[in-house]
């Protein structure tokens, strides 16, 4: 089987490529990535050594380019990780998110229709559901929870999901969608909560925590997520949405304190900053459907996953030290510089 994996130089995409190379060495993998700020080719340096892997630089919103790629490669499956994915950035520049996350998704599906594929899989997010109240721990997102977005990012992802389902209903395109909770693990870009806190703590810098830090997320170790996507693209039912959660609900403040304790750093580094607009309070996934249909359950407890993640950042300083210079530093100052 030949797979095109878009956004494969990003966090979850690169982890998925390594998972697939290990689990399915008989398959061929083409990574399509635009290499924007969050796409890092160095994340794929080991994959580049494999004979069944190829990297192609390009934009999923470039129709001529995408059609040419499909014409030449004739893929069986497309897994779309390519997305602008940071909420704060979407508040600053929403148009970028609409172009990649909505227009790009449409271009990919048109290519799938034109050249024929066995499965198009859209990697989405639990953020399309909005949020849940902190005082109702009995409530969880299911696949039938109404979409109720809070940011330009989540609105663009919800739009893409609706477009994918419309292509299935209108054209019979064989599609699936997965909506995951917050991922963490190796190759996570430093703007996100966990890697940002690890790196800042290592440098004894202030750890910026939005609002009161009580916002709760369901943390999913990235390898567990990859295993779920693998099951869905190979055994999931056409036209279905599958929620993928970690069953590891933690508040942002608790996560930060766990990281500080693991690194032997003082909680005095925690600095509360002005909350971002529309900040969702709680996400929680009901994963009954994917468990019942495909037998999937998360395998990694947060305590184990965060230990492995911290160890990876300690062992791979060259990877993230290169990233935290240049454009990322300018962005960091813009987002947090006036909030302390």
Which two structure tokens, joined as six digits, stand for 239?
């036209």
Query: Is 311 a residue whose pLDDT tops 90?
Result: yes
pLDDT tens for 142-163 read 999 999 998 889 999 999 999 9
pLDDT confidence bin for 336, thresholds 50/70/90: very low
* Residue 85 DSSP symbol: -
pLDDT for 96 equals 84
Token pair listed for 130: 């909005």
pTM score: 0.91
Active site residues: 126-127, 153
| Average pLDDT of every residue of the chain | 92
Lowest mean pLDDT among 19-33, 87-101, 284-298, 322-336: 322-336
Residue 205 to residues 86, 199, 340: CA-CA distances in angstroms? 22, 9, 12
Task: Compute the residue count for the chain.
Answer: 340
> Are the C-beta atoms of 245 and 285 separated by less than 8 Å?
yes
Q: Which residues in 121-144 are b (16+ Cβ under 10 Å) and which e?
A: bbbbbbbbbbbbeeeeeeebbebe
State the DSSP code for 298.
-
Q: What is the percentage of the chain residues whose pLDDT exceeds 70? A: 94
Structure confidence at residue 88 as a pLDDT band (50, 70, 90)? low
β-strand partners of 124: 179
- pLDDT, residue 49, reads 95
CA–CA dist 188, 10 (Å, integer): 8
């Amino acid at each position: 089987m030949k797979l095109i994996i878009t956004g494969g130089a990003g966090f979850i995409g690169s982890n998925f490529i390594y998972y697939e190379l290990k689990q399915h060495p008989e398959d061929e993998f083409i990574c399509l990535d635009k290499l924007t700020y969050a796409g890092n080719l160095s994340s794929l340096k080991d994959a580049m050594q494999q004979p069944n892997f190829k990297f192609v630089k390009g934009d999923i919103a470039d129709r001529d380019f995408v059609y040419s790629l499909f014409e030449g490669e004739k893929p069986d499956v497309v897994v779309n990780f390519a997305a602008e994915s940071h909420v704060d950035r979407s508040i600053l520049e929403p148009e970028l998110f609409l172009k990649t996350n909505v227009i790009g998704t449409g271009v990919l599906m048109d290519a799938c229709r034109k050249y024929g594929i066995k499965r198009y899989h859209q990697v989405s997010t639990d953020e399309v559901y909005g949020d849940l109240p902190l005082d109702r721990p009995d409530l969880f997102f299911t696949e039938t929870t109404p979409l109720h977005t809070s940011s330009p990012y989540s609105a663009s992802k919800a739009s893409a999901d609706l477009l994918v389902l419309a292509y299935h209903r209108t054209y019979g395109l064989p599609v699936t969608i997965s909506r995951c909770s917050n991922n963490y693990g190796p190759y996570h870009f430093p703007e996100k909560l966990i890697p940002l806190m690890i790196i800042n703590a290592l440098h004894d810098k202030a750890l910026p925590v939005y609002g009161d830090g009580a916002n709760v997320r369901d943390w999913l170790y990235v390898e567990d997520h990859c295993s779920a996507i693998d099951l869905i693209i190979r055994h999931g039912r056409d036209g279905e949405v599958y929620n993928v959660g970690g069953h590891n609900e933690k508040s942002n403040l608790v996560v930060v304190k766990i990281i500080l304790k693991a690194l032997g750093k003082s909680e005095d580094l925690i600095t509360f900053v002005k909350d971002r607009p529309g900040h969702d309070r709680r996400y929680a996934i009901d994963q009954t459907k994917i468990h019942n249909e495909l037998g999937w359950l998360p395998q990694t407890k947060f305590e184990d996953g965060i230990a492995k993640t911290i160890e990876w950042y300690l062992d791979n300083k060259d990877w993230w030290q290169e990233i935290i210079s240049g454009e990322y530093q300018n962005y960091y100052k813009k987002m947090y510089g006036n909030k302390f």
